[in-house]
Amino acid sequence: MLVEYDGGSCECFSSKEIRAVLELRNTNNENEFWISGECSYPCMALLVKGGFAHVSYFPEGGQPGFVSLNQADSSGKTVFIKDFEIDSENMVEYNEAVVAVLQFYKNRKMPDNFNWFEI
């Protein structure tokens, strides 16, 4: 599995390697990750800040895809990660995002451990 991030990219061959790469952060305790298999699609993107993440899933090119949906948070707050402004309802706990990436690693399908909003 290819994991690209701010600062580099690496090929991961185990869940342990994927977890280690997803822990990488910049000085603002954030990072952006793009995750794909042998082909460009399907793929996932994570914007991580501290203990939270915004997760996107793209089943194929030319499609807007899906974003994580946290139905427990309808506060309407916005979170800034890197240069992106994200509604808090689209943020999930970082650990949930890792579980989603590991599901994707195993089957290359949209993870089912949280809800999604189709864009």
Phi, psi of 105 (to 5 degrees): -60, -40
| Angle separating helix axes 15-22 and 94-107, nearest 10 degrees | 140
Q: Domain boundaries in the chain?
A: 2-118
pTM (whole model) above 0.85: yes
* pLDDT for res 94: 94
* Mean pLDDT value across residues 94-119: 95
* pLDDT for res 27: 87
Integer Cα distance of 4 and 114 in angstroms: 23
What are the tens digits of pLDDT across the range 44-89?
999 999 899 999 999 999 989 999 998 666 666 777 777 788 888 8
Q: By C-alpha distance, which of 9, 55, 61, 65 is closest to 40? A: 61
* pLDDT for res 79: 75
The pLDDT > 90 percentage for the chain reads 71
Q: By C-alpha distance, which of 82, 102, 80 is closest to 91? A: 80
Average pLDDT, the chain: 91
* Mean pLDDT value across residues 10-39: 95
* pLDDT for res 88: 82
* pLDDT for res 104: 97
